[in-house]
Each structure stands twice: as C-alpha cells, then as structure tokens.
C-alpha cells in the first residue's frame, strides 16, 4: 500500500506516450518487429510467500507508455512462485491478445509475437518446454493458455532479471528510489528529449503535455 500511496501523491505527473522507442528493461537488444509493432510488449509478475493470496499485476506497454494494467490479489492460494506467476501471466497473455485484436480491428497493424517479460525461470521452462509435469499438472489451465499462445507465435515469454521487473510496482511496497525509477520508465515520464539544461546550468525536466510540446519544438529545430 505504500507504493500506491506514493503514486496517488504524484498523480499530477501523468502518462506520456511517444518519443523514440525504448528497449524493454532487462533486454540487451531490440526484439524482432519491435519497431513495426510500435513497442508493444507486456510485463507480468506476482509476489509469493507473504500472504496466502498474494498480490499480482501486469502492464501492457505501447509507444513507451502503459496501455493497460492490473493489480489485484490472486483468487487462488498458490503452492509455489511458479503457480502464482503462471496465474497472473495467463491473465496478462489474454489481455495482450485482446489488445492485438483491437489493433487489427482499427488497422494499426500487429507484427510478430508480442513479448511478455517475466522473471521466473520455472515459469519460463514450463511454457517453452514441451509436455507437462507432475509438478505443474495442478494448474494446467493457465499453463495451457500461455503455451497455446506461445506455440502459435502470438505471445512469446522472455526471461529477464528480477531487478528489471517493472510489474513489481503492482505486487509489493518498493523503496522510494526503485518505485520512482519504475514509475518513470512505465509512465514515460522522463526521457532524453525532455531533459534540458537552462541558462544557469540547472537541469529542467518537462513532463506530460509540456514534454510533448518540447519534443515537437526540438524536432523542428533539428530539421
């Protein structure tokens, strides 16, 4: 709840879409068709072990900003981190597919598989390896949803270090520094084109509408 409290106190910051597409946190290179898909990708994550029904969440990113997101307690009592991650990962995958359908309907174009970034190695193994095991048979429905999307090249899981998991912002109370970092990355609050130095040498940061205006003026000056 501490993270939510800080977000409420900074609700005036707002979300900014656009700018040069940023590579997803945790990846070293841009995925195939990333620019054609206008940066569409998803993060999903769940906490585990602190409560019987842990908090979990996901965010769908598009044009550097959050297009859709969810944060809530799971309605199950998972026996492992893998089961908890798979449950929210299934929801995230279905919402991602729904987003792709909307884009196709409005002729925005969908290219390649949409990357879903996760930080749980066991979950990644279950999705990408063929077959089913005794350890995963008790949560087979969420598993089959993601495995189906994976085999059809609709959603592709990518394993990233947990330090880069933006969806942590939905699952636990983060320290102030990490929360601000993830918030700015998710909301596209600060980027290179909106940070300038004034005549006195001080750093000035533009956000929201002001950031978009500054970017347009900067591009015009460079052309």
**Per-residue buried b or exposed e for 45-66, using 16+ beta carbons within 10 Å of the residue's own CB:** bbbbeeeeebbbbbbbbbebbb
The pairing of strands 41-46 and 114-118 is: parallel
What pLDDT score was predicted for residue 109? 81
Share of the chain above pLDDT 70, in %: 76
pLDDT in tens, 21-43: 989 989 989 988 999 999 999 99
Closest C-alpha to 114, from 22, 24, 15: 24
pLDDT in tens, 116-171: 999 999 999 999 988 766 666 666 788 889 999 999 999 999 999 999 999 999 99
What residue ranges define each of the domains in the chain, with the CATH number in brackets? 2-189 (3.30.420.10), 192-223 (no CATH)
What pLDDT score was predicted for residue 189? 76
Flag the least confident range among 8-12, 92-96, 101-105, 170-174: 8-12
Of 150 and 1, the one with more pLDDT: 150
| For residues 57-81, average pLDDT | 92
Per-chain mean pLDDT for the chain:
83
pTM of this prediction exceeds 0.85: no
In terms of C-beta density within 10 A (0-12 exposed, 13-18 middle, 19 or more buried), how is residue 80 classed?
A: middle
Of 194 and 221, the one with more pLDDT: 221
Question: Does the structure show a pLDDT above 90 at 79?
Answer: no
């Amino acid at each position: 709840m501490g993270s939510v409290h800080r977000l409420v106190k900074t609700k005036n910051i707002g979300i900014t879409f656009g700018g040069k597409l940023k590579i997803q946190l945790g990846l070293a290179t841009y995925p195939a068709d990333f620019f054609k898909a206008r940066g569409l990708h998803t993060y999903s994550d769940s906490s585990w072990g602190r409560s019987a029904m842990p908090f979990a969440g996901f965010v769908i990113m598009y044009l550097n900003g959050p297009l859709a997101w969810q944060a809530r307690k799971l309605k199950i009592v998972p026996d492992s981190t893998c089961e908890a991650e798979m449950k929210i990962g299934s929801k995230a995958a279905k919402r991602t597919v729904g987003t792709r359908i909307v884009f196709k309907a409005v002729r925005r174009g969908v290219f390649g598989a949409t990357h879903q970034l996760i930080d749980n190695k066991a979950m990644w193994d279950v999705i990408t390896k063929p077959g089913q095991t005794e350890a995963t048979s008790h949560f087979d429905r969420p598993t089959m949803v993601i495995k189906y999307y994976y085999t059809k090249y609709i959603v592709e899981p990518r394993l990233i270090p947990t330090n880069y998991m933006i969806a942590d912002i939905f699952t636990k109370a983060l320290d102030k520094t990490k929360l601000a970092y993830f918030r700015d990355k998710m909301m596209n609050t600060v980027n290179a084109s909106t940070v300038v130095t004034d005549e006195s040498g001080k750093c000035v940061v533009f956000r929201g509408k002001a950031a978009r205006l500054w970017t347009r003026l900067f591009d015009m000056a460079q052309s």
